[in-house]
Structure 1
Amino acid sequence: MDSRPVLFFDSGVGGLSVLAAAQALLPRMPVVYVADSAGFPYGTKSEAEIAARVPALLGRLAERYRPRLIVIACNTASTIALAAVRSALDLPVVGTVPAIKPAALISKTRVIGVLGTDATVRQPYVDDLARRFAGDCTVLRHGSAELVELAEAKLHGIAPDPARFAEILGGLFGQSDGARIDTIVNACTHFPLVSDELAAAAPHPVAFVDGSAGIARRIAFLTAGQDWPETAGDGRAVFTARDATTDALAPALARFGLMRPETL
């Protein structure tokens, strides 16, 4: 059987939200999950830094782990470096982009919020998605580095302060027309990890959408007809730098079948 893994890549643990959707659809999928802990967080870095770092790092990872497919489970890395990675690697690469299209399909008020990192929400890629798929909608954006930290803390077992989520969402709802938002795009893979906290902090009921289910379907499509092992086995969790903080993630990683942490 073909034991080549699917490699999931993110700056931290946010990509676990994408991994969970893929594992639900493809339970026999061998997994290597890579967190660029040495480069975390991406959302506060410049485009030039990410454009230089991500393709080079994924090239090293492809050589080491020989994956059948790579998933860039990070909106910031995808919106900046996806094209360069695809040009550099001779294997399928699936990116993660803000789920503006599905949000536009379900919005009734035609006012959509895009909640991401600062680096993601300012990208022309987001402008293009809004123009192509939500041309009749008002698309409001807000970037939050703190929300990434809150999601990471939750995976470490630290209970987040509900007031912080309300203040972060205020960056969307406080804008002109923000009170009419009925759908919010979680444009960072970290954010679905705190979806319950976000829903509880919203001033009125809203739908939160992300691209994880679509990415899982894309992985299934690109690997259709390929052999899989009888069981997925223990997955690998790879960090570009390890310390007590990353080692403390072991219980959370185990819930995703990632039992073999290692350092690149």
Structure 2
Amino acid sequence: MKVASTAPLLFFDSGVGGLSILGPARELLPTAPVIYAADSAGFPYGTKSEAEIAARVPALLGRLVERYRPRLAVIACNTASTIALSAVRAALDIQVVGTVPAIKPAALLSRSRVFGVLGTDATVRQPYVDRLAAEHGSDCLVLRHGSAALVQLAEAKLRGEPLDPTIARDALSGLLDQPGGDRMDVVVLACTHFPLVEAELAVAAPRPLLFVHGGEGIARRIAYLTQEQPWPAAPSPGTAVFTQVDGDVHALQDALRQYGLERIDAL
């Protein structure tokens, strides 16, 4: 199928977390047209039921694909990917890239053979995470903790609000205070929001920890899947699409511009 050079990449998340995927993708594909879609009306996903997410995400992505005609869609959200990726792929006639916890890299990097998975409540309880841990970290102790507050911290950071340092500290304590947590040396940031507050997590850590996430790997996957396709000669302003446009969205404008998203649209 022939692809127009102006056909965009579509990135989808519940909020701004997917910017941690968009950033590395922009570095690899600097002239790629971009639509960044955030389900602000449904945010946050991490506290919702599997049934809600499984129904909501394919329907929203169907509407987005119909409106913007992207060449490829990226579910830049761990929660949505672990629950709805197969349903989205079945519903759309374009390639769909999911975002899964970076458990394989963590297992390769951990010297103590104890690593943590820090995500949303919905992500850390998924059987998909069980399978990844069994496949790639069978000789490791894999600790898990869900933090809804850390998702909100990332959103607040991008709105330019003052940040409560106890939120990052409490999120890490949820891993460190478990049996074996004193030996943990690697933390998987299993929510795309969390790399946006990696600096805050590093400051809150009582000792040096290695944080890993999938942003660069997803960017390489996007580049690979589109390697034969044409791109514009020069970058163009990207569009951020929200399912609900309110004061919080307008407060994100400066941060969105840093990722090349100059326009705001409503779905």
TM-score (norm 1): 0.99
Matched letter for residue 170 of structure 2: E
Counterpart of 1:236 (choices 221, 239, 242) is 239
Counterpart of 2:102 (choices 95, 99, 103) is 99
The structure 1 segments of at least 4 consecutive aligned residues displaced by more than 2 Å after TM superposition are none
> Is residue 223 from structure 1 mapped to residue 220 from structure 2 by the alignment?
no
Question: For 1:205, what is the secondary structure of its paired residue?
Answer: coil
Matched letter for residue 72 of structure 1: I
What's the counterpart of residue 216 of structure 2? 213
Question: For 2:227, what is the secondary structure of its paired residue?
Answer: coil
In 2, Cα distance between equivalents of 1:231 and 1:180: 48
What's the counterpart of residue 127 of structure 2? 124
Contact 1:68–1:91 (8 Å) recurs in 2 = yes
Counterpart of 2:46 (choices 43, 46, 49) is 43
> Is residue 53 from structure 1 mapped to residue 56 from structure 2 by the alignment?
yes
Q: Deviations over 1:167-189 (max 9, x none)?
A: 22110000000011000000000
> Is residue 82 from structure 1 mapped to residue 85 from structure 2 by the alignment?
yes
Question: For 1:242, what is the secondary structure of its paired residue?
Answer: coil
Matched letter for residue 228 of structure 2: G
In 1, Cα distance between equivalents of 2:139 and 2:32: 39
In 2, Cα distance between equivalents of 1:164 and 1:43: 16
What's the counterpart of residue 167 of structure 2? 164
Matched letter for residue 183 of structure 2: R
In 2, Cα distance between equivalents of 1:169 and 1:230: 44
What's the counterpart of residue 145 of structure 1? 148
In 2, Cα distance between equivalents of 1:17 and 1:159: 20
Contact 1:115–1:184 (8 Å) recurs in 2 = yes
TM-score (norm 2): 0.98
> Is residue 184 from structure 1 mapped to residue 198 from structure 2 by the alignment?
no
In 2, Cα distance between equivalents of 1:49 and 1:27: 35
Contact 1:147–1:168 (8 Å) recurs in 2 = yes
In 2, Cα distance between equivalents of 1:94 and 1:168: 28
> Is residue 65 from structure 1 mapped to residue 76 from structure 2 by the alignment?
no
Contact 1:31–1:232 (8 Å) recurs in 2 = no
Q: Deviations over 1:143-171 (max 9, x none)?
A: 00000000000000012122221122110
In 2, Cα distance between equivalents of 1:215 and 1:59: 21
Q: Which one is further off, 154-163 or 237-246?
A: 154-163
In 1, Cα distance between equivalents of 2:235 and 2:85: 27
In 1, Cα distance between equivalents of 2:7 and 2:62: 16
Deviation at 1:2, TM superposition (A): 1.1
Which ranges of structure 1 fall in alignment gaps of 5 or more residues? none
Matched letter for residue 116 of structure 2: G
Deviation at 1:232, TM superposition (A): 2.3
Deviation at 1:9, TM superposition (A): 0.2
Matched letter for residue 88 of structure 1: A
Correspondence list, 1:192-207, <5 A: 192-207=195-210
- Percent identity, aligned pairs only, is 67
Contact 1:11–1:37 (8 Å) recurs in 2 = yes
Which ranges of structure 2 fall in alignment gaps of 5 or more residues? none
In 1, Cα distance between equivalents of 2:170 and 2:5: 48
In 2, Cα distance between equivalents of 1:60 and 1:252: 25
Q: Deviations over 1:47-105 (max 9, x none)?
A: 00000000011001000000000000000000000000001111100000000000111
